[in-house]
């Protein structure tokens, strides 16, 4: 029940790792650094009835961390904790999380590539 996509952009030095994880209404795609075992991130897509405002209230603000707001392709993208991003689009909640040093430009490029 989820129309999921893969991003057309992935940061240099990272590649998809392992099988795509699936559960009803959600998928997670993992990416790992090609040069070390320390850096990795995942992109999760879940069915959601949230919009940008409810995502901010119910998720981003609960981290109690500073965040930045960006507009891209008609989406509101929140970058929080320095290297994580989240947004909603068409009933799907996207979240980029992990142990990386991805900067906001890389996170936005991933988000825009869906």
pLDDT of residue 67: 97
pLDDT single digits (tens) 25-65: 999 999 999 999 899 999 999 999 999 999 999 999 999 99
pLDDT single digits (tens) 58-93: 999 999 999 999 999 999 999 999 899 999 999 999
**Long-range contacts (CB closer than 8 Å, 24 or more residues apart) made by 90-94:** 91/47, 91/48, 91/49, 92/2, 92/3, 92/4, 92/45, 92/46, 92/47, 92/48, 93/44, 93/45, 93/46, 93/47, 93/48, 93/50, 93/55, 94/43, 94/44, 94/45
Q: How far apart are CA 94 and CA 114, in angstroms?
A: 10
């Amino acid at each position: 029940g989820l129309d999921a996509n893969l991003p057309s952009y992935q940061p240099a030095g990272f590649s998809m790792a392992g099988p795509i994880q699936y559960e009803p209404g959600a998928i997670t795609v993992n990416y790992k650094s090609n040069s070390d075992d320390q850096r990795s991130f995942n992109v999760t897509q879940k069915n959601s009835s949230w919009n940008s405002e409810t995502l901010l209230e119910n998720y981003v603000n609960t981290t109690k961390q500073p965040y930045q707001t960006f507009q891209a392709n008609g989406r509101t993208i929140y970058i929080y904790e320095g290297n994580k991003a989240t947004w909603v689009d068409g009933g799907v909640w996207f979240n980029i999380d992990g142990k990386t040093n991805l900067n906001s430009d890389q996170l936005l490029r991933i988000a825009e590539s869906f």
